[in-house]
Chains A and B, each alone.
Chain A
Amino acid sequence: MKAPSSAVCLLALCAVACGGAADIPATPDLRELLQSYERPTATLDGSNVDAALKNAPNLQALAEGLQAVKLYIASDVDYASSSSSGSSRSNLRLQGSLGLKVRCPGERSDPVYDEAVNGSVSLTVAVAESRILRSMGGEAKACVMKGTLAGLAARIQLDGEIAFDLGGDIGVGQYWSGDLLASLPGQLRVGDYMFESISARLKDGRFQHLVRLQGEQEKTIVLELSATGVTIRDASGVWFCREGQSCGKQ
């Protein structure tokens, strides 16, 4: 009796251990940050709204930096999506992970994809139910990209941990054209500007930046760039600040 029992156990073990679906990697949880962008918690008044804007980082430079990051990340996610699409059909379930090693192009007009020269970005993408999950994380190592600032070419460099939210899951084989929320606990350099431990968001084509007000731990406002000025959203409403003028509540 011993031999058959062992054989049955082996068969059962193998059925579990020899196969099985690929693991779906853990991804950064950016839901709280997204919530902060949707619902800022600080309440400004006429006395402190101008100061809040004055203390904000250079929004134009930050926006250019985020646009450059989006440009490269979008093409890399699209490549990962298309390279996995061979396994995807409507009656099949695809899951697992995609590891992206992005060689950064550098600041010159002709890209040099050499990580020793222009650095790299590593990203882990999770795939579940044949969809690329919206949240992904990784690390940038002195990743240099080309961007523009005030109409001129600018060097953009990304360093440290990175986390992105793509605004929604993407079907494998489809292209990403949605929003982007970036959480960058490391450094982002845009020309001469240095940003540390920041987040920024591109939503419906508009650039947004979350500001945690000094001295008020959990109080936040959202700054949004527009063609004519800066919009500030707080818990009570929206302020509009035209360049060179005081902000007014709308």
Chain B
Amino acid sequence: MRQTVRLAACALLLSWSGGALAQQLENPRTDYTAYTRPRGRASVGLLKTDLGLIDEITIGTYPLPWLLALPIVKTTVPNLYAKVRSPWSSPFQLALGGSLMYVNAKALAQLADQSADGYGISTTASLDSSYRFNERFSLSLGFDYAHLGLYGEDPEASIEGASTTHTYSTRLFGEWRFTRVFALSLLFRYLVYQSPTSAEGTSDNGAVMVTSDLTVEPTARKRFTIVPGVSFEWERWELNAGIGYGVFYLPVLGLASTKAWPVVDLAFAYRFDLYH
């Protein structure tokens, strides 16, 4: 029985490959790779939304902090990212990316401490290279940098200060496309370095003022993440899903967890052309 189901599944997958892989080349996967959206094409999802301004430049945002943050932190968390790809037409592509997120005082107060007053800024940068060996298989190598700074002041308790940390990581991403719709993927990430979190601050209770120059770092550090996954590219919809294990990178912020966890990688979006 199990054998029959397997054969049926294989037959179904192979039947999708009739349209060859041309469409896939028009809609390459944009996360973990150097590829960008074609000019005028938008992809709208709750986790990630982006638009190909021109073939070489994609801009986007993570809607979740904008929208779902509202009922939780009673304010919105604006964020933006951009990716610029190499202009040449070749199996080998390079791309530079970056993102910026701003967390205002109200959000910080809701998330961290009712009395907190301040703001947070998260920036990330990435360098990606991708090589398409053939229509079925591509391999991408990327380097990520993430920086998070929290800057606060609480006039009532007279507490002010800053907390910053940054992370360097590298990743290898392979995608093996079986049909125009279905592909298997494997993501491997290695945390090169995460700085001790710097916590500088001043607190004053009237009798004594304490100026702290401290850093915090985990006593043990995990470094590896491996996430096997699947990718579906329908005509209008795209779904990328993976489940793995290892260091968990905070979405948008890019900062790594100190422990290894089960890791879920998910992206689901609707694709359409805004202009040509």
A74 to chain B, nearest CB (A): 12
- A15 to B196: give the CA distance in the assembly, Å: 11
- B205 CB within 8 Å of chain A: yes
For A92, the closest partner residue in chain B by CB is B216
Whether B214 lies near A19 (C-beta < 8 A) is no
Chain A residues near B195 (CB-CB < 8 A): 18-20
A83 to B208, CA, bound (A): 11
Contacting pair B166 A103 (CB below 8 A): no
Are the C-beta atoms of A22 and B217 separated by less than 8 Å?
Answer: no
A23 CA / B205 CA spacing, docked (Å): 25
Which single residue of chain A is at the shortest CB-CB distance from B193? Answer: A15
Tell whether, in the assembled complex, residue A93 and residue B212 are in contact, meaning their CB atoms are under 8 Å apart: no
Q: Among the listed A22, A76, A92, A96, which residue makes an inter-chain contact with B219, where contact means beta carbons less than 8 Å apart?
A: A92
Quick one: closest A residue to B202, CB to CB? A99
Q: Is B210 an interface residue (CB 8 A)?
A: yes
B199 partner residues in chain A, CB cutoff 8 A: 87
Report the bound CA distance from A26 to B213 in whole Å. 14
Please tell me the number of chain A residues within 8 Å of chain B, measured between CB atoms: 33
Residue B69, interface by CB 8 Å: no
Contact (Cβ within 8 A) A83 B203:
yes
A95 to B, closest residue via Cβ: B215
Assess whether B203 is in contact with A22, with CB atoms less than 8 Å apart.
no
Closest B residue to A83 by beta carbon equals B203
CB contacts (< 8 Å) of B213 on chain A: these are 22-23, 96-99
| Complex CA distance for A22 and B159, rounded to whole angstroms | 20
Scoring B168, B199, B203, B216 by chain A CB atoms within 10 A of each residue's CB, the highest score goes to: B216
Interchain CB contact under 8 A, A84 and B207: no
Q: Tell me if B111 is interfacial: C-beta within 8 Å of chain A.
A: no
What 1/0 flags go to B147-161 for Cβ under 8 Å of A?
000000000000100
**Contacts known (A87-B199, A93-B219); A22 close to B207, Cβ less than 8 A:** no
Tell me if B211 is interfacial: C-beta within 8 Å of chain A: yes
The residue that A22 contacts in the complex, of B166, B168, B198, B205, with Cβ under 8 A, is: B198
Task: State whether the Cβ of A63 lies closer than 8 Å to any Cβ in chain B.
Answer: no
Residue B243 lies at the interface, judged by CB distance under 8 Å to chain A: no
Q: A15-B168, A15-B193 are in contact. Are A21 and B207 (CB under 8 A)?
A: no
Q: Determine the distance from Cα of A94 to Cα of B163 in the docked complex, in whole angstroms.
A: 13
Contacting residues, chain A, for B211 (C-beta < 8 A): 98-99, 101
Judge if B7 is at the interface, Cβ distance under 8 Å. no
What CA separation (Å) do A84 and B258 show in the bound complex? 20
In the complex, A80 has a CB within 8 A of chain B: yes
Residue of B nearest to A22 (CB): B215
B168 touches A87 (CB 8 A): no
- The answer to whether B209 touches A101 (Cβ under 8 A) is yes
Instruction: Kindly state whether residue A198 has any CB partner on chain B within 8 Å.
Output: no
- Least CB distance from A148 to B in Å reads 20
The answer to whether B210 and A99 have CB atoms under 8 Å apart is yes
Interface residues on B, range: 20 to 34
Q: Interface of chain B, helix or strand or loop or mixed?
A: strand
B218, CB-defined interface residue at 8 Å:
yes
Q: Is A76 in contact with B208, judged by CB distance below 8 angstroms?
A: yes
Cα–Cα distance between A18 and B211 once the two chains are bound (Å)? 21
Q: Which residues on B sit within 8 Å (CB–CB) of A79?
A: 205, 207-208, 210
Within 8 A of A (CB), among B162-188: 165-166, 168
A225 at the interface (CB under 8 A from B): no
Indicate whether A127 reaches chain B with its CB closer than 8 angstroms.
Answer: yes
Cα distance A102–B204 in the bound complex, in angstroms? 10
Taking a contact as CB atoms under 8 Å apart, the answer to whether B210 and A22 are in contact is no
B196 and A100 within 8 A (CB) = no
- Tell me if A22 and B214 are in contact (CB < 8 A): yes
With A15-B193, A83-B203, A87-B199 as given contacts, are A21 and B210 in contact (CB-CB < 8 Å)? no
Give the residues from 109 to 162 in chain B that come closer than 8 angstroms, CB to CB, to chain A: 159
* Cross-chain contact of B214 among A20, A75, A94, A100 (Cβ < 8 A): A94
A91 and B203 contact, Cβ closer than 8 Å, known pairs A19-B166, A79-B208, A97-B213: no
Q: Mark B242-272, 1 if CB is under 8 A from A, else 0.
A: 0000000000000000110000000000000
Query: CB-CB < 8 A to A99: which residues of B?
Result: 210-213
List 22 interface pairs A-B (beta carbons < 8 Å), by A numbering.
A15-B168, A20-B196, A22-B214, A23-B213, A76-B207, A76-B208, A79-B205, A79-B208, A83-B203, A92-B217, A92-B219, A93-B216, A93-B218, A94-B215, A95-B214, A97-B212, A99-B211, A101-B208, A102-B207, A103-B207, A105-B207, A127-B214
10 A-B pairs with the lowest CB-CB distances in the bound complex, closest first: A19-B195, A96-B214, A99-B211, A22-B215, A101-B209, A83-B203, A76-B208, A21-B215, A21-B196, A80-B210
Q: Which residues of B contact A (CB under 8 A)?
A: 159, 165-166, 168, 192-193, 195-199, 203, 205-220, 258-259
Instruction: Give me 12 other A-B pairs in contact (C-beta within 8 A), A19-B166, A20-B195 excluded.
Output: A15-B193, A18-B166, A19-B193, A22-B215, A83-B203, A83-B210, A83-B212, A84-B214, A87-B197, A93-B218, A98-B211, A113-B206
